[in-house]
Amino acid sequence: MKNIVFIAPPAAGKGTQSHLLKKKYNLAHISTGDLLRKASLEESERGDYIRNCLSQGRLVSDEITLELLTERLNESDCENGYILDGFPRNVKQAIAYESWLNQTQKDLGYVIFLDIPKELAQKRIVGRETCPNCGAVFNDQIEVSKPKQDGICDICEHQLVKRKDDNDETFNQRYDTYMEQTEPLINHYRSLGILHTINEIDKEKAFQQIEKIIHE
């Protein structure tokens, strides 16, 4: 199975599609967001730096991000193929990653761009509520995703929580950064003739389109 790279604005569904692919094809799901959040817990200069970036909605430096990523890619579960969720975020990262692939004789695989409107992405972020007990996710701004009882998990009736950085200010900072740095990345992959674009917002239909791409 080839590797898969997802490019998308915040809350476009990278994590959801990655989970579906991981489950069906036994691929390692590598979320740079998860890697950074884990590293931010380190009591070190690197951990302090990452913590500050995340709290202010700024991107972590390319060097630190690539360092964390290559550490993860060297783990055994990546040998069968992996999904990159949130990396690369800019052309510089893409070129560094392509250089690493050449050095390790690995294939880039599929590059898939999930494109959704900014307004929908903002609702998905700001309205997101998660159950810390069972992991279920709801959204108080999207009708079909609201919990039956405000603030209570439908599945286990635990109190739902919101992440501190799920707010309008942080979202706008993240989105502006995405527009500035990630759009040139889309053009980079498009110029190489390897970019696949999906505009479908329904997760099941989007997954069907992704499967069509990887089986072709």
Catalytic residues: 14, 89, 128, 163, 174
**DSSP designation for 162:** -
Place of tokens 């036994």: 26
Query: Where would I find the beta strands (DSSP E) of the chain?
Result: 4-7, 28-31, 82-85, 110-114, 128-130, 137-139, 195-198
Does residue 88 have a cis bond before it (omega within 30 degrees)? yes
Q: Return the number of other C-beta atoms located less than 10 Å from residue 142's C-beta.
A: 13
73 within 8 A of 29, measured Cβ to Cβ: no
**Token output for 142:** 């999207």
Between strands 82-85 and 137-139, the pairing is unpaired
DSSP per-residue letters across 98-127: HHHHHHHT----EEEEE---HHHHHHHHHT
